[in-house]
C-alpha cells in the first residue's frame, strides 16, 4: 500500500514521448523473454499503464475466477460441512507441502498455511524464546518491517526480555559480521528479513544462520519479500523457523493467509502459545486439556482460511511450471533494466538498492525528495508504484506478470511527472 493520498482518478494516459531507443530496447527484452507468454494468464486491469507494485499485491490469475466460482458451487454448496472431512481439514498442511516443494526448498511436513503474517510471527517468536530458557536477549534490526519490530517489542515486554538492535546501512542490509557482534550466550532469538522491504537487499541467509547457531540461539526468517521471487533452500541452509505472506509474489489476493516453516528437528521442542482446538491432537475429542498435534499441524490455532488458500494454488502451479530459476532470472533482468533506466533517464534520482544482482531481490528503491507527490500523481494516471518514507519510490516487479515495456513506460511516466 502507498502512504500517499492519490488525487481523484483520471483516465489513464499512457506516456506519449517514450524515446524510440528505449521502446526498442524494452521490446527486444520482451521478445527474448522466455516467460513473456505468462503475462496473458493474468486478469487485465482497465486503464492500467504500468503496475509496479507486484511486491505489495500480486495480480489475479484468470484461472482463479473459475476456481472461486467452482468452489462455491462444488465443495461449499454441494458438499457443505462434509468438505471438512473430505479435504478442508488437511488443506493447511497439504498446501504447505506444495509451497515448500515449489518455492521454499522444504521437505514435506515442515510448512503450514494459516493465520496472518503478524499472528504467525508472534506465535513462532514467542515459541522460540520459550524454547531457549535462561536466555534474555532477542536480536533484531532497526530497518525491518514495522510488524516484525512491533511484535518483538510486545514479546519482550511480556517475557521481560531485552531487544538488542542492529542498526544496519539501510541500503546494504544486515551482514553476518553485524549479527556476530550482536549475538552471544544470552541470545535466545534472532529475527531478520531475508529481503529488506525497502532496499530489496538480500541477506546472507546461510552465513547468518550459521552465526546464530554458533551462539546457541534460534533464527526466525521473514520471507515476505522473497517467497516466490528468490529461490530458497530452507532445509539445506539449516533454517530453524520462517514466516511469510502469500499476497505478494504468491498472488493469493488481499488478506490471503500466511505460511510458517518449522524445521522437523524442532517440532518436538518448540511449542506455540495460541492453543486453539484446530491445532490439538484430536480436535473432535473436545477434551478438557490441550494436547498439541504432532508435527507441523501444532502451529494451527483456529479454523483454516480455506477460501483464502484457493488463489495460491493457481500461482504455485504457475511458478512450478516456470521454475524458480527462470523466475529469478526474469526478476534480475527486470530490476537490472529498472536501474539502467534510472541511471540514464531519471536525473536527480538515486538508486537506493544494491547494484550487485546477487544481493538484490525483486524490487528497486529509487530516492528523490519529490516522490511523495509523484507517486500520488502517477496513481491517478494509471502508473502504480508505491511510496516508502521518507522519499522512496519502490518499483516492485513480479516476474511472471510484468513486461519490460510496461516497466519502461511506467518509469518514463515518473520522469515526466518529475519534470
Q: What is the average pLDDT across 193-211?
A: 98
How does the average pLDDT of the chain come out, rounded?
A: 95
- Is residue 5 situated within a structural domain? no
Neighbour tally for 183: CB within 10 Å: 25
pLDDT beyond 90 at 309 = yes
Q: Would you say residue 80 has pLDDT above 50?
A: yes
- The 218-222 sheet, strands edge to edge: 111-113, 259-262, 241-244, 218-222, 187-193, 137-141, 162-166
Q: Please tell me the distance from the alpha carbon of residue 408 to that of residue 385, in angstroms, as a whole number.
A: 13
SS3 88: helix
- Catalytically annotated residue among 126, 297, 372, 394: 394
Q: Give the contacts of 157 (CB within 8 A, at least 6 positions apart).
A: none
Cα separations in angstroms, 7 against 2, 4, 46, 204, 381? 13, 9, 18, 41, 10
Residue 39 has pLDDT above 70, yes or no: yes
The DSSP call for residue 278 is G
- Looking at the fold, whether 310 and 328 belong to one and the same domain comes out as no
pLDDT given for residue 50 in this prediction? 97
Residue 8, pLDDT above cutoff 70: no
Q: Are 92 and 225 in contact (CB under 8 A)?
A: no
Using one digit for the tens of pLDDT, what is the confidence trace for 182-191? 999 999 999 9
Catalytic residue among 25, 145, 164, 237: 145
- Pairing between β-strand 383-384 and β-strand 386-388 as defined by DSSP bridges: unpaired
Going by pLDDT thresholds of 50, 70 and 90, the confidence category of residue 4 is very low
Domain assignment of residue 15, yes or no: no
User: Does residue 289 sit within a domain?
Assistant: yes
Q: Looking at the structure, tell me whether residues 39 and 168 fall in a common domain.
A: no
Residue 167 CA to residue 165 CA, distance in Å, equals: 6
CATH number for position 140: 3.40.640.10
Which cell is 233 given?
533452500
238 and 375 in a common domain: no
Q: Which of 122, 201, 247, 371 is catalytic?
A: 247
Is residue 7 over pLDDT 80? no
CB 264, CB 241: distance < 8 Å? no
The reply to whether 380 and 395 lie within a common domain is yes
Would you say residue 172 has pLDDT above 80? yes
242 has pLDDT over 80: yes
Residue 8 vs residue 259, higher pLDDT: 259
- Final residue belonging to a domain, choices 269, 301, 319: 319
- Same-domain pairing of 37 and 157: no
CA pair distance 249, 253, nearest whole angstrom: 10
Peptide bond into 390 cis (omega under 30): yes
DSSP string, 104-131: I---TTSEEE-S-HHHHHHHHHHHHHHT
Domain residue limits at 141? 76-319
Instruction: Give me the pLDDT at residue 65, please.
Output: 95
**Nearest one of 245, 280, 292 to 89, comparing CA atoms:** 280
Q: How many CA atoms lie within 13 A of 341 on its CB side?
A: 29
Whether residue 394 lies in the annotated active site? yes
Where residue 12 falls among pLDDT bands split at 50, 70, 90?
very low
Write down the pLDDT at residue 6: 38
- 8-state DSSP, 293: P
Q: Which candidate, 273, 281, 309, places its Cα nearest to that of 111?
A: 309
Say whether pTM exceeds 0.85: yes
Q: Could you give the number of structural domains in the chain?
A: 2
Terminal CA-CA length for the chain = 25
User: Of these residues, 126, 248, 359, 381, which one is catalytic?
Assistant: 248
Sign of the torsion angle spanned by Cα atoms 372, 375, 376, 378? positive
Which domain-ending residue is among 261, 286, 319? Answer: 319
Q: pLDDT at residue 251 above 70?
A: yes
CA 34/CA 259 separation, integer angstroms: 30
| 171 located within any domain | yes
Q: Which of the following is catalytic: 33, 97, 115, 222? A: 222
pLDDT at residue 2 in the model: 40
Beta strands 241-244 and 218-222 are: parallel
Over residues 252-272, mean pLDDT: 97
Q: Is 222 a catalytic residue?
A: yes
**Among candidate residues 282, 297, 319, the one where a domain is terminated:** 319
Residue 373 falls in the annotated catalytic set: no
Pick from 3-12, 25-34, 360-369: least confident: 3-12
Q: Where are the beta strands (DSSP E) in 196-300?
A: 218-222, 241-244, 259-262
CA dihedral 109, 113, 116, 119 (to 10 degrees): -30
pLDDT over threshold 80, residue 121: yes
For residues 302-313, average pLDDT: 96
CA–CA gap between residue 292 and residue 392 (Å, rounded): 45
Assign 3 a pLDDT band (cuts: 50, 70, 90).
Answer: very low
Within this chain, do residues 293 and 207 fall inside the same structural domain, yes or no?
yes
pLDDT, one tens digit per residue, over 314-368 is 999 999 999 999 999 999 999 999 999 999 999 999 999 999 999 999 999 999 9
- Counting residues of the chain whose pLDDT is more than 70, the rounded percentage is 96
Q: Please give the Cα distance from 240 to 110 (Å, whole number).
A: 10
Measured in degrees and rounded to the nearest 5, phi and psi for residue 367 equal: -125, 130
Q: Are residues 31 and 130 in the same domain?
A: no
Same domain for 390 and 267: no
Tell me whether residue 71 is in a domain.
Answer: no
Amino acid at each position: 500500500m502507498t502512504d500517499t493520498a492519490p488525487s481523484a482518478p483520471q483516465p489513464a494516459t499512457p506516456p506519449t514521448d517514450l524515446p524510440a531507443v528505449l521502446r526498442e530496447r524494452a521490446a527486444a527484452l520482451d521478445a527474448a523473454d522466455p516467460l513473456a507468454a505468462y503475462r496473458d494468464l493474468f486478469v487485465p486491469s482497465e486503464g492500467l499503464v504500468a503496475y509496479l507494485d507486484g511486491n505489495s499485491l500480486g495480480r489475479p490469475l484468470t484461472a482463479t475466477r473459475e476456481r472461486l466460482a467452482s468452489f462455491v458451487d462444488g465443495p461449499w454448496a454441494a458438499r457443505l460441512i462434509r468438505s471438512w472431512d473430505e479435504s478442508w481439514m488437511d488443506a493447511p498442511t497439504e498446501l504447505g507441502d506444495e509451497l515448500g516443494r515449489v518455492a521454499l526448498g522444504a521437505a514435506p511436513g515442515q510448512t503450514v498455511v494459516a493465520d496472518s503474517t503478524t499472528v504467525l510471527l508472534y506465535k513462532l517468536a514467542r515459541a522460540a524464546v520459550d524454547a531457549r530458557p535462561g536466555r534474555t536477549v532477542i536480536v533484531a534490526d532497526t530497518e525491518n518491517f514495522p510488524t516484525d519490530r512491533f511484535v518483538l517489542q510486545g514479546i519482550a515486554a511480556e517475557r521481560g526480555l531485552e531487544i538488542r538492535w542492529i542498526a544496519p546501512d539501510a541500503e546494504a542490509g544486515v551482514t553476518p559480521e553485524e549479527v556476530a557482534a550482536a549475538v552471544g550466550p544470552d541470545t535466545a532469538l534472532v529475527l531478520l528479513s531475508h529481503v529488506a522491504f525497502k532496499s530489496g537487499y538480500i541477506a546472507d541467509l546461510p552465513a547468518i544462520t550459521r552465526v546464530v547457531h554458533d551462539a546457541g540461539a534460534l533464527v526466525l526468517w521473514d520471507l515476505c519479500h522473497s517467497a516466490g521471487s528468490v529461490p530458497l533452500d530452507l532445509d539445506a541452509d539449516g533454517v530453524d523457523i520462517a514466516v511469510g505472506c502469500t499476497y505478494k509474489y504468491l498472488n493469493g489476493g488481499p488478506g490471503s493467509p500466511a505460511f510458517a516453516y518449522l524445521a522437523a528437528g524442532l517440532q518436538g521442542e518448540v511449542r506455540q502459545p495460541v492453543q486453539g482446538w484446530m491445532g490439538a491432537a484430536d480436535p473432535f475429542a473436545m477434551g478438557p486439556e490441550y494436547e498439541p498435534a504432532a508435527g507441523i499441524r501444532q502451529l494451527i490455532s483456529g479454523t483454516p482460511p480455506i477460501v483464502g488458500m484457493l488463489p495460491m494454488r493457481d500461482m504455485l502451479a504457475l511458478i512450478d511450471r516456470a521454475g524458480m530459476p527462470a523466475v529469478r532470472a526474469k526478476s534480475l533482468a527486470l530490476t537490472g533494466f529498472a536501474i539502467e533506466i534510472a541511471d540514464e533517464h531519471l536525473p536527480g534520482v538515486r538508486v537506493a538498492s544494491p547494484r550487485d544482482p546477487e544481493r538484490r531481490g525483486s524490487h528497486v528503491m529509487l530516492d528523490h525528495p519529490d516522490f511523495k507527490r509523484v507517486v500520488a500523481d502517477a496513481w491517478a494516471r494509471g502508473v502504480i508504484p508505491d511510496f516508502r518514507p521518507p522519499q522512496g519510490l519502490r518499483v516492485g516487479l513480479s516476474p511472471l506478470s510484468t513486461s519490460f515495456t510496461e516497466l519502461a513506460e511506467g518509469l518514463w511516466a515518473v520522469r515526466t511527472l518529475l519534470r
